[in-house]
Amino acid sequence: MKGRPFALIGINSDSVEDAKKAIEREKLNWRSFQNSPEGWERSISDDWMVRGWPTIVVLDADFKIRYRGHDGHEATRIAKELVDKLEKIDS
């Protein structure tokens, strides 16, 4: 998906060290927020009412929710469709 109008953003619930280890081991190259950064009373997952992991939310170019759930394949399919559509409009 390099060079295409798409970004994968993680929200990581582990400690920063564990997350970095996992990223190195799994060769993950996406950017991640810390779910509950030091000094925060709330976590991002609370704000987003996440009740199970993993949870995936797919947003379109207007920041509108197009998928929310636990099914990575379905989320990927929807994201790809949106990217294709977006590229068609842009070209």
Q: Examine residue 71 and tell whether it contacts another protein (CB under 8 A).
A: no
What is the spatial distance between Cα 86 and Cα 51, in angstroms, rounded to a whole number?
31
Query: Restricting to residues 24-63, which ones interact with another protein according to CB under 8 A?
Result: 30-35, 37, 40, 44-45, 47-51, 53-63
Q: How many residues bind another protein (CB under 8 A)?
A: 54
Q: Is 74 in the site for another protein (CB under 8 A)?
A: no
Burial class (CB in 10 A: 0-12, 13-18, 19+), 25: exposed
- Among 3, 7, 27, 89, contact with another protein (rule: CB under 8 A): 7
Cis check for the bond before 5: say yes or no (omega within 30 of 0): no
Q: List b or e across 51-85, with b for residues whose CB sees 16 or more CB atoms inside 10 angstroms.
A: eeeeebebeeeeeeeebeeeeeeebeebbeebbee
65 binds another protein (CB under 8 A): yes
Enumerate binding residues for another protein (CB under 8 A).
5-14, 16, 18-23, 30-35, 37, 40, 44-45, 47-51, 53-66, 68-69, 75-76, 79, 82-83, 86
